[in-house]
């Protein structure tokens, strides 16, 4: 079983970045923020998605494509807050 505290911290880093910028962080940025090695940051991302977080990685990579309710790639579902559109929905 994966450490739920580590999963929660990884989730929070990703969600915070998605809300702030409209873009998912790269696993190297997640690693830096969590004080992990690059390999551990990549593993943290894979562990989070393996635990059942709604979203997915680009096939055969560690790049976040979707992290509910957001999508890192443009979709027809544009999200606008206070007149600013920088998010896309799943």
Distance CA 33, CA 25 (A): 10
For residue 10, give both structure tokens.
């990884």
Print pLDDT tens along the chain (90 aa).
469 999 999 999 999 999 999 999 999 999 999 999 999 999 999 999 999 999 999 999 999 999 999 999 999 999 998 999 989 999
Residue 12, pLDDT score: 97
Q: Which structural domain, as residue segments, surrounds residue 39?
A: 4-89
Instruction: Give the predicted TM-score (pTM) of the model.
Output: 0.91
Domains contained in the chain, number? 1
Distance CA 50, CA 3 (A): 13
CATH code, domain carrying 80: 1.10.10.10
């Amino acid at each position: 079983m994966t450490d739920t505290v580590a999963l929660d911290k990884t989730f929070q880093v990703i969600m915070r970045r998605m809300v702030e910028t409209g873009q998912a962080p790269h696993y190297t940025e997640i690693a830096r923020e969590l004080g992990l090695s690059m390999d551990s940051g990549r593993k943290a991302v894979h562990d989070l998605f393996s635990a059942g977080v709604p979203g997915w990685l680009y096939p055969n990579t560690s790049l976040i494509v979707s992290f509910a309710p957001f999508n890192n790639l443009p979709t027809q579902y544009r999200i606008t807050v206070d007149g600013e559109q920088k998010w896309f929905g799943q």
